[in-house]
C-alpha cells in the first residue's frame, strides 16, 4: 500500500542561486478513494474568482433569448456556447447605489456600496472604493491557507486615468488601498514558482524543471501508474509555459520589459497574453497556491483598442462615436467573451479529483455598466460561472422582472464558493438575499 502524499507536497531546487519551488496538482495519491476529497478527509477546495471587462455590452444582443435551464446563447454570448452548462447569466438587474458614469457601477457591483469621492477633475469626479471588493471579501474567508491570499492578473494594458483608483484597479481592500493587477507574464510566473524579477532571464537559460529534476525522479517511484501519467502531463504544461516565456524573452538580451508581450507594430497581443495568463492561473489553482483570483481583462471605461475586430480607437471612445447599431462595439464584446471562453475552458480542461477546476469554482463575470453609449446601470451584465463544488446549479439563465439588486447576484456568487457571509453591500446596495434559482 502506497503512503498518501500531502496536498502541500512541492518539488524544490535552486536556479541561478535562487530558491525555486514547483507545487503539484491534486494527484490520486493525495485524494481519498472517491476522488472528491483529500486523503486526509478534507474536502477539495472551492475557489472564488472575478473576471472583469470594461465598458459593458450591447444589451439587445447580450441578453439570452431563453431563460431557465438549457439557455440558448445570444449573439454576444455565442463564443461561450459550449460552456453553457457551467454558466448562469443573470439579467434584469440594476445598481441600486448612486449614479455616475462608470464610477457608480464599478463600485456598486464590486462592493455593493456607493463610490467614495475624493474630489473632482475636468467635468467628472475622482473616486475610490469605499470598502473591500468582493474578491477580498472571499479572500478573508477562504484565502488564509494558501501561499497567496489572492492573485490578481491584468490582460490588456492600463492606459491612464485621472479619475482615481476606481478606474485603474479591480481588487481593493478599502479606500485607496488596492491589489494591483500584474500585467507581465514573466513576473507572474516568477511570483508563482519562486525567485525575484532578475530570475526571468535565468528561466530562459535553465528550466525550473531542471532545478527540481532530482526530486521529481524520486517522487515518481512513490506514485502509481495513473499518477505518473498525471505528473508528466503537469510537468509538460509547465515546460510549455517556460517555452512560451523563453520565446518572448528571446536570446536573453536586456530589454525594458522582458516577458511582457509588448505591442507588435503598435498592436496589443491580447489573445496571446490571455492564453498564457489563463494557463498560469489554472496551474496556480490546481496546485492550491491560491483559492481567490481576479482577472482584469480591461479597466473601467475601457481604453483597449480591439484591433482584432477592426477597431482603430479605444472601446470607450468607439462606444460614443460609432453610430447605432454599433457593429464594432458589438464585435468587441464578442471578442471579449471569446477570451473569457479561453479562460473557462482552460479550467474545465484541467482535471481535479473526480471532476475539473471549473467544477470547483464560483466566478463572478461582470462589467461596470450596461451600455457604454448610455452609461446605464440597468440591465447590468452579470454571469456566474462554475459549479462551486455542487453549490451552484450551473447552466441556468435567471431573469428578474423587476430590476433586482445586482448585489443579490454577487452574494449568490460568494455562497457558491462556500464563503460564509450573510450580507453584502451597504445603503441601496445592501442585501441579504440570494438568487435561489442558481443554488442547489
Taking residues 191-215, report their average pLDDT.
Answer: 56
Residues 2 and 27 in one domain: yes
All three cell numbers of 320, joined, read 460614443
Residues 202 and 309 in one domain: no
Number of domains in the chain: 2
Q: What is the pLDDT of residue 395?
A: 97
Residues 38 and 67 in one domain: no
Write down how long the chain is: 440
Structural domain contains residue 1: yes
Taking residues 165-171, report their average pLDDT.
Answer: 96
Residue 12 in contact with residue 20, Cβ under 8 Å?
yes
Structural domain contains residue 265: no
Beta bridge partners of 33: none
Q: What is the pLDDT of residue 11?
A: 58
pLDDT in tens, 88-98: 999 999 999 98
Top mean-pLDDT range of 42-46, 76-80, 218-222: 76-80
Structural domain contains residue 207: yes
Q: What is the pLDDT of residue 37?
A: 55
Distance (Å, whole) CA 292 – CA 426: 23
Q: What is the pLDDT of residue 211?
A: 60
Exposure string for 235-259, b = 16+ CB within 10 A, e = fewer:
bebbeebbebbbebbeeeeeeeebb
Q: What is the pLDDT of residue 249?
A: 37
Q: What percent of the chain is modeled with pLDDT above 90?
A: 64
Exposure string for 336-348, b = 16+ CB within 10 A, e = fewer:
bbebbbebbbbbb
Last residue of a domain, one of 259, 284, 302: 259
Greater confidence (29 vs 313) lies with 313
Structural domain contains residue 23: yes
Structural domain contains residue 178: yes
Structural domain contains residue 307: yes
Residues 5 and 113 in one domain: no
Taking residues 255-264, report their average pLDDT.
Answer: 54
- pLDDT value at 382 more than 90: yes
Structural domain contains residue 333: yes
pLDDT in tens, 2-61: 456 565 665 556 544 556 566 666 666 555 555 555 545 567 899 999 999 999 999 999
Residues 18 and 123 in one domain: no
Q: What is the pLDDT of residue 210?
A: 67
Residues 394 and 276 in one domain: yes
Count of alpha carbons within 13 Å of 396, Cβ hemisphere only? 15
Residue 341: which CATH number?
3.40.720
All three cell numbers of 260, joined, read 511582457
Taking residues 277-296, report their average pLDDT.
Answer: 92
47-52 vs 292-296, strand pairing mode:
parallel
User: Which among 265, 343, 270, 340 has a CA at the least distance from the CA of 305?
Assistant: 270
Residue 269 in contact with residue 276, Cβ under 8 Å?
no
Q: What is the pLDDT of residue 193?
A: 72
Residues 29 and 138 in one domain: no
Residue 182 in contact with residue 154, Cβ under 8 Å?
yes
Greater confidence (1 vs 134) lies with 134
Residue 200 in contact with residue 186, Cβ under 8 Å?
yes
- Indicate the range of 219-233, 326-340, 362-376 predicted with least confidence: 219-233
Residues 301 and 408 in one domain: yes
Q: Which domain, by its residues, includes 231?
A: 1-44+190-259
Sorting pLDDT into bands at 50, 70 and 90, what band is 191? confident
Structural domain contains residue 264: no
Taking residues 174-179, report their average pLDDT.
Answer: 97
Cis status, amide bond into 325, omega within 30 of 0: yes
Top mean-pLDDT range of 43-52, 184-193, 228-237, 328-337: 328-337
Residues 200 and 53 in one domain: no
Last residue of a domain, one of 235, 259, 283: 259
- pLDDT value at 101 more than 90: yes
- pLDDT value at 317 more than 70: yes
- pLDDT value at 198 more than 50: no
- pLDDT value at 75 more than 90: yes
Taking residues 154-181, report their average pLDDT.
Answer: 94
Greater confidence (239 vs 47) lies with 47
- pLDDT value at 226 more than 80: no
- pLDDT value at 171 more than 80: yes
User: Which among 109, 123, 8 has a CA at the least distance from the CA of 50?
Assistant: 109
Distance (Å, whole) CA 375 – CA 368: 9
Taking residues 237-258, report their average pLDDT.
Answer: 48
Give the other-Cβ count within 10 Å of 226's Cβ. 11
- pLDDT value at 201 more than 80: no
pLDDT in tens, 264-276: 888 999 999 999 9
Residues 292 and 391 in one domain: yes
Q: What is the pLDDT of residue 266?
A: 84
Distance (Å, whole) CA 436 – CA 231: 39
* CA distances from residue 53 to 50, 92, 348 in whole angstroms, order as listed: 10, 19, 21
Distance (Å, whole) CA 216 – CA 214: 5
Q: What is the pLDDT of residue 215?
A: 72
Greater confidence (221 vs 12) lies with 221
Beta-carbon contacts of residue 32 (< 8 Å; ≥ 6 apart):
38, 39, 41
Last residue of a domain, one of 238, 259, 280: 259
Residues 75 and 159 in one domain: yes
* CA distances from residue 369 to 52, 297, 301, 373 in whole angstroms, order as listed: 11, 15, 9, 10
Residues 301 and 202 in one domain: no
Amino acid at each position: 500500500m502506497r503512503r498518501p502524499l500531502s496536498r502541500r507536497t512541492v518539488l524544490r531546487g535552486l536556479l541561478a542561486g535562487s530558491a525555486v519551488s514547483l507545487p503539484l496538482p491534486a494527484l490520486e495519491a493525495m485524494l481519498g478513494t472517491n476522488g472528491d476529497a483529500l486523503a486526509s478527509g478534507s474536502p477539495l477546495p472551492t475557489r472564488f474568482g472575478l473576471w472583469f471587462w470594461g465598458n459593458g455590452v450591447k444589451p439587445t444582443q447580450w441578453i439570452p433569448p431563453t431563460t431557465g435551464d438549457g439557455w440558448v446563447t445570444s449573439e454576444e454570448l455565442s463564443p461561450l456556447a459550449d460552456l453553457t452548462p457551467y454558466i448562469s447569466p443573470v439579467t434584469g438587474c440594476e445598481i441600486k447605489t448612486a449614479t455616475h458614469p462608470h464610477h457608480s457601477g464599478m463600485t456598486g457591483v464590486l462592493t455593493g456600496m456607493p463610490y467614495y469621492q475624493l474630489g473632482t477633475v475636468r467635468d467628472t469626479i475622482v473616486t475610490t472604493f469605499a470598502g473591500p471588493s468582493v474578491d477580498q471579501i472571499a479572500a478573508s474567508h477562504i484565502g488564509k491557507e494558501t501561499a497567496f491570499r489572492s492573485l490578481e492578473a491584468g490582460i490588456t494594458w492600463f492606459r491612464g486615468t485621472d479619475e482615481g483608483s476606481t478606474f485603474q484597479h479591480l481588487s481593493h481592500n478599502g479606500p485607496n488601498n488596492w491589489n494591483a493587477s500584474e500585467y507581465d507574464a514573466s513576473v507572474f510566473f516568477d511570483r508563482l514558482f519562486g525567485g525575484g524579477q532578475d530570475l526571468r532571464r535565468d528561466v530562459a537559460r535553465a528550466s525550473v524543471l531542471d532545478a527540481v529534476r532530482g526530486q521529481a525522479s524520486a517522487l515518481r517511484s512513490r506514485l502509481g501508474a495513473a499518477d505518473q501519467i498525471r505528473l508528466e502531463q503537469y510537468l509538460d504544461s509547465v515546460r510549455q509555459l517556460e517555452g512560451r516565456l523563453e520565446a518572448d524573452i528571446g536570446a536573453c538580451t536586456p530589454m525594458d520589459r522582458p516577458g511582457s508581450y509588448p505591442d507588435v507594430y503598435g498592436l496589443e497581443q491580447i489573445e496571446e497574453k490571455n492564453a498564457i495568463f489563463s494557463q498560469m492561473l489554472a496551474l496556480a489553482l490546481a496546485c492550491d497556491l491560491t483559492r481567490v483570483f481576479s482577472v482584469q481583462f480591461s479597466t473601467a471605461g475601457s481604453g483597449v483598442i480591439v484591433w482584432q475586430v477592426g477597431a482603430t480607437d479605444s472601446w470607450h471612445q468607439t462606444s460614443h462615436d460609432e453610430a447605432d447599431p454599433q457593429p464594432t462595439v458589438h464585435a468587441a464584446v464578442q471578442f471579449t467573451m471569446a477570451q473569457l471562453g479561453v479562460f473557462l475552458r482552460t479550467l474545465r480542461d484541467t482535471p481535479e479529483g473526480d471532476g475539473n477546476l471549473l467544477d470547483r469554482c464560483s466566478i463572478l463575470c461582470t462589467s461596470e455598466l450596461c451600455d457604454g453609449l448610455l452609461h446605464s446601470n440597468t440591465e447590468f451584465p452579470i454571469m456566474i460561472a462554475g459549479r462551486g463544488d455542487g453549490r451552484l446549479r450551473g447552466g441556468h439563465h435567471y431573469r428578474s422582472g423587476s430590476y433586482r439588486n445586482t448585489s443579490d447576484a454577487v452574494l449568490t456568487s460568494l455562497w457558491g464558493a462556500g464563503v460564509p457571509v450573510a450580507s453584502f453591500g451597504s445603503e441601496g446596495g445592501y442585501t441579504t438575499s440570494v438568487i435561489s434559482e442558481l443554488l442547489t
